[in-house]
Amino acid sequence: MVTSIQDTLEGNTQVAPHAVELVEALRGTELFAALSTEILEGIAAHSRIIEVAGDTILYRQDDPTDSLYVLLEGRLAGFSVAANGTTAVIEVIQRGETLGLAAVLARQPRLMGVRTVHGSRLLRIEANDLLALLEREPALVTAMLVAEANEFRALVRQVCDLKLRTTAQRLGCYLLSLSTEHRANTAALRLPFDKRLLAARLGCRQENLSRAFAALRSFGVETHGARVILHDIAGLRAYAQPDEAAA
Amino acid sequence: MVTSIQDTLEGNTQVAPHAVELVEALRGTELFAALSTEILEGIAAHSRIIEVAGDTILYRQDDPTDSLYVLLEGRLAGFSVAANGTTAVIEVIQRGETLGLAAVLARQPRLMGVRTVHGSRLLRIEANDLLALLEREPALVTAMLVAEANEFRALVRQVCDLKLRTTAQRLGCYLLSLSTEHRANTAALRLPFDKRLLAARLGCRQENLSRAFAALRSFGVETHGARVILHDIAGLRAYAQPDEAAA
């Protein structure tokens, strides 16, 4: 069941940590890591940490952009709904990543919707206060524009991926990205989310995902539910051709 | 043959119009239309108009971002090269559009390459001078961030398109977007670029593009080379399901 963030905000899940904890949480994100304590305290004054259950919509496409979220723990999915009501998962957001900077900075409505995949812990920063801070803090402007360029780069890479690779190659690239073994030729890993979301992220139907897993068997990919073993990383790399930059 | 912009910049194609002409050219773009003459004169001082032959690379992915281009006349293709050397056309840029704002604003290397499709007339603005102007002109910051959000939105829409639609549906959406007839049920139009580029833009092989055109015959799409007649716009809409927002 998909619940709405309003239920959550009105419920009992909000945590109100001390300002020092908020500053540390901000410093722990890639976006704000390099900023001075003074700037972080300025942001903390307009931030709070919220805990949100899984499968909860934070916001929908075209909603007013009232806040910036940074993911501290958990996992988010950015989604877009087509005219006929079908939903595409645009991007899966990992801990430490931001989503939706373009809309915040341009003071425009949300460009896509976002929901939690699992229960998540997020920093929620009031957009208007953040924008007011930006006018006084050039270092903050730089940090946010670089983060926005990174979001942009991820989308460009994904368009490239969708245009140049088959579903099986895309799945291979994804599995390789999950492997932290950079030297060995084998790796055991666990899919971080279910196959329905994986299919949506890769842009295929679930039956095509099964076919893609079957096709990857020839390249040493063994699956048992969410557990995946890569027996021949070199062979899989040669087949799926991941971008070196994305590794 | 793909030539390089360096040949062009060193060649005889550069036009050096009067500052008034530059200001008018800037004012004619969506990006700068709403800005005061004073700001436009500031930008014009660091701009020039260049004319570039077709199939010329303006810059490649990872090149230093030394300028912002705005397309005045002609057509550009934004492209990305995968690890194995294959090239994806990420976006086709029409007159009045910008490309690459994210990299300019974040002072990062180019996120994708850009080449001309046809001979094109462009505004070339020095990135460093533009960034210096930004620090003094909040209205310019707003204009650029909104334009960047628009670039971002176009990419999100395209990811959605690639994930939710078949090649034939994507082609249908594209043909509908070329039709300026919003009331009649028929339209005659001309493909603005060749089928090789169209296939690259849609993210399919040329033989799949031919199959997609064949599939659209049942929905009243008749083709004679670059000339296309839509005999049943309502039927094509029902099949291809274009985003209303994109219309």
| Facing A90 at nearest CB: one of B90, B111, B156 | B156
Residue A65 in 3-state DSSP?
coil
Q: Which of A60, A80, A158, A197 to mutate to test the interface with B (most CBs of B within 10 A)?
A: A80
Task: For residue B85, give every residue at least 6 positions away whose Cβ sits within 8 Å of its Cβ, in sequence order, or none.
Answer: none
Span A163-189, average pLDDT? 89
Q: Which of B61, B104, B105, B158 to mutate to test the interface with A (most CBs of A within 10 A)?
A: B105
Q: How many CA atoms lie within 13 A of B213 on its CB side?
A: 17
Task: For residue B91, give every residue at least 6 positions away whose Cβ sits within 8 Å of its Cβ, in sequence order, or none.
Answer: B77, B78, B99, B154, B155, B158, B201
Specify the pLDDT at position A211: 95
- Mean pLDDT for chain A overall: 87
Q: Nearest CA to CA, how far is A241 from chain B (Å)?
A: 7
| Facing A153 at nearest CB: one of B111, B153, B160 | B111
Does the pLDDT value for residue A179 go beyond 90? no
Span B34-39, average pLDDT? 92
Query: What percent of chain B shows pLDDT beyond 70?
Result: 91
Give B240's contacts in chain A (Cβ within 8 Å).
none
CA-to-CA distance for B4 and A194, rounded, in angstroms? 46
Does the pLDDT value for residue A185 go beyond 70? yes
Residue B82 in 3-state DSSP?
coil
Enumerate the β-bridge partners of residue A188. A229
A202-235 core/surface letters (b: 16 or more CB in 10 A; e: else): bbbeeebbeebbebbeebbbebeeeebebeebeb
- Is residue B3 within 8 Å of residue B57, measured between CB atoms? yes
Span A148-161, average pLDDT? 88
Specify the pLDDT at position A4: 59
pLDDT band at A194 (very low <50, low <70, confident <90, very high): confident
Instruction: Report DSSP letters for B26-76, one per residue.
Output: HHTSTTTTTS-HHHHHHHHTTEEEEEE-TTEEEE-TTS---EEEEEEES-E
The least confident of A38-42, A123-127, A242-246, B104-108 is A242-246
Does the pLDDT value for residue B2 go beyond 80? no
Q: Which stretches of chain A sit within 8 Å of chain B by CB?
A: 80, 82-84, 86, 88-90, 102-103, 105-108, 111-112, 135, 138, 142, 145-146, 148-149, 151-153, 155-160, 162-165, 200, 203, 241-244
pLDDT band at B12 (very low <50, low <70, confident <90, very high): very low
Task: Give the residue carrying structure tokens 């994100």.
Answer: A29
Specify the pLDDT at position A104: 93
Q: Which stretches of chain B sit within 8 Å of chain A by CB?
A: 80, 82-84, 86, 88-90, 102-103, 105-108, 111-112, 135, 138, 142, 145-146, 148-149, 151-153, 155-160, 162-164, 200, 203, 241-244
CA trace torsion A181, A187, A191, A195 (10° rounding)? 130
Name the CA radius of gyration of chain B, rounded.
19
CA-to-CA distance for A163 and A155, rounded, in angstroms? 12
Task: For residue A222, give every residue at least 6 positions away whose Cβ sits within 8 Å of its Cβ, in sequence order, or none.
Answer: A228, A229, A231
What is the reported pTM? 0.82
pLDDT band at B87 (very low <50, low <70, confident <90, very high): confident
Chain B residue closest in CA terms to A243: B83
Q: What is the pLDDT of residues A48-61, one digit of tens each?
A: 999 999 999 999 99
B135-162 core/surface letters (b: 16 or more CB in 10 A; e: else): eebeebbebbbbbbbbbbbbbbbbbbbb
Give Cα separations from A6 to A11, A45, A50, A135, B220 (angstroms): 8, 22, 12, 30, 47
Phi, psi for residue B43 in degrees, rounded to 5? -70, -40
Phi, psi for residue B113 in degrees, rounded to 5? -85, 160
Does the pLDDT value for residue A243 go beyond 80? no
| Between B84 and B51, the higher pLDDT residue | B51
pLDDT band at B247 (very low <50, low <70, confident <90, very high): very low
Q: Do A158 and B159 touch (CB under 8 A)?
A: yes
Does the pLDDT value for residue B25 go beyond 60? yes
Span A129-157, average pLDDT? 89
Closest-CA residue to A129 (of A102, A97, A107, A146): A107
Span A211-221, average pLDDT? 96
Specify the pLDDT at position A74: 94
Does the pLDDT value for residue A18 go beyond 80? no
| Facing B83 at nearest CB: one of A102, A156, A241 | A241
Q: What is the pLDDT of residues B135-188, one digit of tens each?
A: 888 889 888 998 899 889 889 888 988 988 889 999 999 999 888 777 889 999
Span A204-208, average pLDDT? 88
Specify the pLDDT at position B113: 95
Specify the pLDDT at position A6: 56
Q: Do B111 and A152 touch (CB under 8 A)?
A: yes
| Facing B164 at nearest CB: one of A86, A103, A153 | A86
| Between B20 and A124, the higher pLDDT residue | A124
Give A92's contacts in chain B (Cβ within 8 Å).
none
Does the pLDDT value for residue B102 go beyond 60? yes
Cα-Cα-Cα-Cα dihedral sign, residues A155, A159, A164, A170 = positive
Q: What is the pLDDT of residues A78-117, one digit of tens each?
A: 998 877 778 889 989 988 888 889 999 999 999 999 999 9
